[in-house]
Amino acid sequence: MSERSERILDAGEVERVLGRMASEIVEATGGAERVGIVGIRRGGGALSARLAQAVAGLGPEAPPVGSVDIALYRDDAATALPDPKIGPSVVPFDVAGRDVVLVDAVLQTGRTVRAAIECLLDYGRPRRIWLAVLLDRGGRELPVAADFVGRTLEVPAGAKVRVALAAEAAEPGAGAVLVRAGETP
């Protein structure tokens, strides 16, 4: 079975999208001073740091950044993860009373977001939890919607979306790619 790839966003487009999302976050939350940014480990980890940099460029200070690992919070953890790879959750700021922006690369079913919210609440009660995603591919199984979306896609069943963030925006292979399995080029 072959795969056919289609570039959705190149590295420069990812940076522009993050800049727009940062502006939307600052506007919606009333300023970066009240915001904490938390990436959902793997897809949202590096993305949250990039988004925090973009938010920092719009205000007097950079928002604090953390990450959550949802492996033990998944609703299918007992059946789907016979040998889970569990990483640390690190939220180095007090979430109580703060606007927290959860960040992930791709939103699909909503189950990852549900697990991340549950994990985040173990750190305290934020004033509000917002959701920022680079790509919204549809296919919800839970009533979850992102507040800040880089791009909305229509993705066929069986297709995968891969996001590769490079250290430098111009690095080859950086960006977001739609991979359609079972199609010939």
Domain boundaries, the chain: 12-76+85-153
Backbone Cα Rg of the chain = 16
pTM above the 0.75 mark? Answer: yes
Give 69-104 pLDDT, tens digit per residue: 998 898 876 666 566 678 899 999 999 999 999 999
Nearest-angstrom CA–CA distance, 70 and 175: 24
Which CATH number, 3.50.50.60, 3.40.50.2020, 3.20.20.70, 2.60.40.10, labels domain 12-76+85-153? Answer: 3.40.50.2020
Instruction: Name the band, by pLDDT with cuts 50, 70 and 90, for residue 61.
Output: confident
Tokens read off for 152: 């909305």
With CA atoms as reference, report the closest residue to 131 among 153, 109, 154, 105: 105
pLDDT for 170: 46
Which of 118-122, 166-170, 176-180 has the weakest average pLDDT?
166-170
Nearest-angstrom CA–CA distance, 34 and 148: 17
Question: What's the average model confidence in pLDDT over 51-56?
Answer: 95
Tokens read off for 65: 């950044």
Question: What are the helix (H) ranges across 144-183?
Answer: none
